[in-house]
């Protein structure tokens, strides 16, 4: 999965509100009040747990596996949000998923064992409180993933499996104009963390294949001694794609 394809991630409060709202619609049409309360409580506890755990699981799975991720994507993650910080946030969210399911497993038998409706509702409320508290404990982790997703969606969408040509040369030599002229469609203009200027990314169709063409303003157009640490890391990241460097010059 591309970093740009990560789906929307809910905040802790959005997740809690949605789970409780869906659980509030769960009802059982049994005549005996005490029995009805037990059945309803069990279903509601399962509903809250599922509507918390399932989204949390999907959030963790939406991010690339660090064991299988392309070295370029790993470098970009480290440059933008930090691999260790992202791993920690995902670990926290997955812990919350497991904890919520464990709470449901613990409280469902308790709800089934209660004799009166009042006691059953108290057990259900206690389960609700514990599950929602777990979600609120990972609020910062979820907010980190929301921020990371926003950053990744604004990165150029480079396909690691397709050939890449990076245009270099002096400023104002016409690199972006050339990319626009030879591209099959309108080039995408976004920024990487290692350049404050927009990166032009276009595509050229060659028979049945596509070649990506990229301009990296402010990165490859000056000596290495003039680059800061972020720019040097950016060049190292690009090397993972093994691009062809096309140097442009104006002879006029």
217-247 tens-digit pLDDT: 656 556 667 776 666 656 766 778 888 888 8
Flag whether pLDDT at 251 surpasses 60. yes
Q: How confident is the model at residue 138 (pLDDT cuts 50, 70, 90)?
A: very high
pLDDT by residue (tens digit) across 19-73? 999 999 988 777 787 878 888 999 999 999 999 999 999 999 999 888 888 888 8
6 pLDDT above the threshold of 80: yes
From CA 53, how far away is CA 180, in angstroms rounded? 46
Residue 78 confidence (pLDDT) = 87
Please give the pLDDT value at position 114: 85
Task: Give the pLDDT score at 179.
Answer: 84
Closest CA to 11 of 151, 138, 131: 138
State the pLDDT confidence band at 180, using cuts at 50, 70 and 90.
confident
The answer to whether the beta carbons of residues 9 and 59 sit under 8 Å apart is yes
Q: Where does the pLDDT of residue 166 fall: very low under 50, low under 70, confident under 90, or very high at 90 and above?
A: confident
Share of the chain above pLDDT 70, in %: 88
What is the C-alpha to C-alpha distance for residues 54 and 63, in angstroms, rounded to an integer? 15
Name all domains of the chain by residue range, CATH numbers in brackets.
3-153 (1.20.120.1190), 164-248 (3.40.50.300)
Question: What are the b/e assignments for 28-57, b being 16+ CB within 10 Å?
Answer: eeeeeeeebbbbbbbbbbbbbbbbbbebbe
Higher pLDDT, 127 or 201: 127
pLDDT number for residue 130: 98
C-beta separation of 189 from 198 below 8 A: yes
Q: Tokens at residue 223, please?
A: 């000596």
Q: What is the pTM of this model?
A: 0.82
Residues 6+ apart with CB under 8 A from 132: 16, 19, 20, 48
Position 2 scores a pLDDT of 76
Distance CA 113, CA 68 (A): 46
Q: Find out whether 145 and 80 touch, Cβ atoms under 8 Å.
A: no
């Amino acid at each position: 999965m591309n970093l740009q394809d990560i789906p929307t991630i809910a905040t802790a409060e959005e997740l809690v509100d949605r789970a409780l709202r869906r659980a509030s619609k769960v009802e059982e049409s049994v005549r005996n009040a005490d029995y009805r309360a037990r059945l309803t409580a069990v279903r509601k506890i399962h509903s809250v747990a599922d509507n918390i755990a399932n989204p949390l699981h999907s959030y963790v799975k939406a991010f690339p596996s660090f064991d299988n991720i392309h070295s370029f994507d790993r470098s970009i993650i480290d440059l933008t949000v930090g691999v260790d910080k992202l791993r920690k946030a995902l670990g926290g969210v997955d812990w919350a998923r497991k904890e919520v399911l464990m709470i449901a497993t613990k409280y469902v038998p308790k709800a089934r064992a209660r004799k009166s409706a009042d006691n059953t509702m108290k057990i259900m409320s206690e389960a609700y409180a514990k599950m929602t508290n777990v979600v609120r404990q990972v609020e910062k982790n979820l907010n980190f993933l929301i921020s990371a997703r926003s950053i990744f969606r604004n990165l150029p969408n480079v396909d690691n499996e397709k050939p890449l040509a990076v245009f270099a040369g002096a400023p104002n030599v016409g690199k972006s104009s050339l990319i626009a002229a030879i591209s099959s469609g309108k080039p995408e203009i976004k920024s990487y963390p290692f350049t404050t200027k927009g990166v032009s990314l276009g595509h050229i169709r060659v028979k049945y294949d596509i070649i990506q063409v990229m301009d990296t303003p402010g990165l490859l157009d000056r000596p290495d001694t003039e680059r800061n640490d972020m720019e040097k890391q950016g060049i190292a990241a690009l090397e993972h794609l093994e691009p062809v460097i096309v140097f442009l010059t104006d002879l006029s």
